[in-house]
Structure 1
Amino acid sequence: MTDTAKAGTACALVWLRRDLRWDDHAALYHALRRYPRVHCVFIFDTDILGALHSRQDRRVEFIHASVQALDQELRALAQRSGAPGGGLIVRHGPAAQCIVQLAQSLGVQEVLANRDYEPGAIARDRQVAQALQAAGIAFSDYKDQVLLEQNEVLTQQGQPYSVFTPYKRAWLQKLDAFQLKPYPVERYARHLAPPPAGEALPTLQVLGFEATNLRQMALPTGMQGAQQLLQDFVPRMAAYKDARDYPGRRGVSYLSVHLRFGTVSIRQLAALAAAQAAQGCEGAQTWLSELAWRDFYFMILWHHPQVVTQSFRPEYDRVQWDDAPELWRAWCEARTGYPLVDAAMRQLLQTGYMHNRLRMVVASFLTKDLGIDWRRGERFFAQHLNDYDLAANNGGWQWAASTGCDAQPWFRIFNPVTQSQRFDPDGKFIRRYVPELARVPDKHIHFPAAMTPIELQACGLRLGQDYPLPVVDHASARERTLMRFHFLSAKAGA
């Protein structure tokens, strides 16, 4: 600690980004422990907001509600600790510019933040650090949004893993009590500083956005919302291994959006899963593996930033994808004629959420049945997913398209009908999002195009009018995909 800090005159600024909580928060802990006065700021970054395709974006509304809740929680935390203020400074503008200006106006000695691994964020933070350094202000960042990062899990040759299973074994060996230990923020909360006078949270409208159906969806926001979902999931965790693949069941945690925006600590979730996994709970072991996948994709993105626009395996950038505008629109608009695919796409469009099993199904359908470039699907998900995360989204799409690390082999192609029969056997999920098929019997709900005219008439369904005919024949599309990849493989071998 510097002499000025010891004298009680130094202060710091904690820059919150995708970590909208105060509990178990790495940067906030380090700031409060080292400085007698600590300000907290969140910036509605116009560089990010301006790039969004719609002024009705559930993510912006989720963030806005979570920021509002965090401001109140910081004030309550400060009051409990006897601090003079607490609360959150909120700015609306280019983040890099706002941070430097705010740091200078507050007279802070250091800006602290939790580390981000996306190429754009890395470049932004480098720019901020340089500008702060020129102004005589330090910048430091900390690991917080992952459990193990960057070079913490390497092969025996000192190289990053490109296959998940050996990565997970090494990851589990390194995941000890120290990695799962929470940061005791409340112990130092008396150092929270009040925001400048006149601070007020801008409304959604001031930010240039409109309300969505987020409240109608009853998606809880903020730290309390995350804990509410976690407490709901804990009694269901034991069944997670089997229940997670069925979109019609409440089998998953629904915490992905909270992990994305950091309203819950990854250490809290992993510690809970690890404790139950150690007692032999298979559901907890599987859930812990999903958290390992998350770290794996962050590691891949950090070591291989080119995957944002290129295939992880460069040879697959030579795949000749189809330019099929009508098929592309049918996929985007949930009218492919394959009920599980259409139900999944409607779930995404209506709620901003899609079940993980269905993400694989629709990604496989776009790339392997329709022959369309995975990058287009990845960008579509980026526009619509509440929990959109570049690392996981990119990794998942490249897995489905067989272009990534540890990818689904190109000759294994999901059949959208058998996937439907297996994971939505009674059509419960399909009927929820494709109500025009409500009267179709269970045995035909997965592929109404196979029904006879008499069967169609019996349930009052007119194919091509009430519900579309299939846009492709799966068997024929599968053969085209096999030829597409086989030709590329043969060419590479030659």
Structure 2
Amino acid sequence: MNEPINIFWFRRDLRLDDNHGFYETLKGDCPVMPMFIFDNEILDKLPEEDARVTFIHDTLQNMRATLQKDYGSIAIYKGNPIDVYKNLVKEYNINAVYTNHDYEPYALNRDKEIETFLKENSIQFKTFKDQVIFEKNEVVKNDGDPYVVYTPYMKSWKEKFKSYNLEIFDTKPHLNNLVQHSHLPNLSLSDIGFKTSSQKIEPYTVTPELIQNYEAKRNFPAKNGTSRLGPHLRFGTVSIRKMVKKAIAEKNEIFWQELIWREFFMQILWHFPDTVTKSFKPKYDNIKWRNNEQEFKLWCQGKTGYPLVDAGMRELNETGFMHNRVRMLVGSFLCKHLLIDWRWGEAYFAEKLHDYDMASNVGNWQWVAGSGVDAAPYFRIFNPTTQIEKFDRDLEYIKTWVPDFQELTYPNKMVDHKFARERCLEAYKTALN
């Protein structure tokens, strides 16, 4: 193909509407070829039945079918991105590659490599802000330092938002600028080495009723009070701009502030990429973790003898989802009751959670371990028994996921709460003094 084209590279933005980078590409002077790469670097670490890969594949097929009705298609490749681009420059006359920003350490290095290669071939690489309202250095303290405490960050975010033009990018009028070509490469799930997962990523719910009742219901795992937005924000099947608009329209501060928490952790990861493997507070890397592999296995299986902890882990293993309130408890139990390194828990969640997002996952695990930004003092240790009284008094959630909790076969508590608490306090004190 000799006619110059622009490429739009889909990544964490799997939607056709209100997609900033896609919109800018479509408005350009050259026909647009949309593209997605199943990245070996990411796929090679996943089991062959992964609900997230099934979800991405299904979403891309739906997007492809939508475009093929009237306009064009999406080219789907598998490989290392740099190798895919080396082949693309041989096959097409590429004027520019457009994409949306990504903030994780791997993505930043990947994009740097791609940009350098394209520049060597006289091809522009243009990137846009899409998955957040504010990014990088856009919400910082007066002296330019990043916020490391949520509340002042949130207040500053809201102040900045007052004068922010929340633009929705309407791509529809520009879709006739796509490359008119329905025979772009496609791949089946088996082509990329995966099987259809038995787990499904649930649709999200952001009805006015859910948003209005969010504060009243969100802490109770037996109630259907959460939006299930996580995976959809993670993979960009929903627009953050539209979600913020909804939160504002319903005048629900708590729902809105949950969206701001996500951006808080994203800017923390961008400013402090070392927090993926190192404690934000360096002293916490002195903790002598017990890291007992057998105990870790029991925690993973939901066999700790503490019903609310076990309910959370079993829900995660069976569905790929865990209620946020319960995530805090199971994380705290691993780090503080069992003295197992938060990085072990973070890696397990990365494997299992449908809504896994590195920034939020690392941020929240460091929070429960006490080592992260804005973390609770280390001596605050959740009591897994009194948490039932607070959040699952009628045992609805526990009965759903741990129906055996009153049977003789149910495991004994793997550690006594009082003993574990004192052991934890001693280990943390020794490390921090």
* TM-score bin (small chain): over 0.9
Partners of 1:163 and 1:45 in 2: CA distance: 34
Bigger Cα Rg: 1
Task: Work out which of the residue numbers 423, 426, 429 in structure 2 matches 1:483.
Answer: 426
Report what 1:235 is aligned to: 209
1:299 pairs with 2:267: yes
Runs of 4+ in structure 1 off by over 6 angstroms are none
Structure 2 counterpart of 1:68, which letter?
Answer: Q
- Once the two structures are superposed, residues 435-486 of structure 1 have per-residue CA deviations (whole angstroms, 9 ceiling, x without a partner) of 223xx4xxxxxxxxxxxxxxxxxxxx21xxx110000001110111111222
- Once the two structures are superposed, residues 311-360 of structure 1 have per-residue CA deviations (whole angstroms, 9 ceiling, x without a partner) of 01111111111131221111011100000111100111111111111111
Relative to structure 1, the CA distance from residue 61 to residue 254 in structure 2 (aligned partners, 3 Å threshold; closer, same or farther) is same
Secondary structure in 2 matching 1:180: coil
Secondary structure in 1 matching 2:227: coil
Tell me, which stretches of 5 or more residues in structure 1 are unaligned?
A: 1-7, 80-84, 278-283, 441-460
TM-score by length of 1: 0.85
Give yes or no for contact 1:117–1:298 (8 Å, CA) kept in 2. yes
Partners of 1:99 and 1:336 in 2: CA distance: 48
1:105 pairs with 2:105: no
Secondary structure in 1 matching 2:368: helix
Report what 1:290 is aligned to: 258
Give yes or no for contact 2:335–2:341 (8 Å, CA) kept in 1. yes
Give yes or no for contact 1:410–1:485 (8 Å, CA) kept in 2. yes
- Which residues of 2 match residues 462-481 of structure 1 at below 5 A? 462=408, 466-481=409-424
1:133 pairs with 2:76: no
Partners of 1:178 and 1:31 in 2: CA distance: 23
Deviation at 1:99, TM superposition (A): 2.9
Task: Work out which of the residue numbers 13, 17, 21 in structure 2 matches 1:19.
Answer: 13
1:95 pairs with 2:38: no
Secondary structure in 2 matching 1:416: coil
- Once the two structures are superposed, residues 178-231 of structure 1 have per-residue CA deviations (whole angstroms, 9 ceiling, x without a partner) of 45221121121221113463x3532211211112213xx5x45xxxx55xx33x
Between the aligned residues of both structures, percent identity stands at 40
- Which residues of 2 match residues 271-282 of structure 1 at below 5 A? 271-277=245-251
Report what 1:324 is aligned to: 292
Partners of 1:366 and 1:150 in 2: CA distance: 32
Deviation at 1:10, TM superposition (A): 4.0
Count, aligned residues = 432
- Once the two structures are superposed, residues 353-410 of structure 1 have per-residue CA deviations (whole angstroms, 9 ceiling, x without a partner) of 1111111110000001111000000001011111111000000000000000101210
Task: Work out which of the residue numbers 374, 390, 397 in structure 2 matches 1:406.
Answer: 374
Task: Work out which of the residue numbers 191, 206, 210 in structure 1 matches 2:191.
Answer: 206
Give yes or no for contact 1:88–1:195 (8 Å, CA) kept in 2. no
1:57 pairs with 2:50: yes
Partners of 1:481 and 1:134 in 2: CA distance: 55
Structure 2 counterpart of 1:378, which letter?
Answer: E
Task: Work out which of the residue numbers 73, 94, 99 in structure 1 matches 2:66.
Answer: 73
Secondary structure in 1 matching 2:77: strand
Deviation at 1:119, TM superposition (A): 0.5
Structure 2 counterpart of 1:250, which letter?
Answer: N
Task: Work out which of the residue numbers 152, 166, 172 in structure 2 matches 1:186.
Answer: 172
TM-score by length of 2: 0.96
Relative to structure 1, the CA distance from residue 205 to residue 175 in structure 2 (aligned partners, 3 Å threshold; closer, same or farther) is same
Task: Work out which of the residue numbers 374, 379, 382 in structure 1 matches 2:342.
Answer: 374
Report what 2:238 is aligned to: 264
Secondary structure in 1 matching 2:99: strand
Bigger drift between 412-421 and 377-386 goes to 412-421
Q: Which has the higher contact order (CA 8 A, sep 6+)?
A: 2
Partners of 1:195 and 1:259 in 2: CA distance: 30
Partners of 1:93 and 1:299 in 2: CA distance: 29
Secondary structure in 2 matching 1:15: strand
Give yes or no for contact 1:55–1:209 (8 Å, CA) kept in 2. yes
Give yes or no for contact 1:26–1:114 (8 Å, CA) kept in 2. yes
- Which residues of 2 match residues 115-154 of structure 1 at below 5 A? 115-154=101-140
Deviation at 1:68, TM superposition (A): 0.8
Partners of 1:236 and 1:275 in 2: CA distance: 13
Computed over aligned residues only, the root mean square deviation of the Cα atoms, in angstroms, reads 1.6
Partners of 2:6 and 2:369 in 1: CA distance: 46
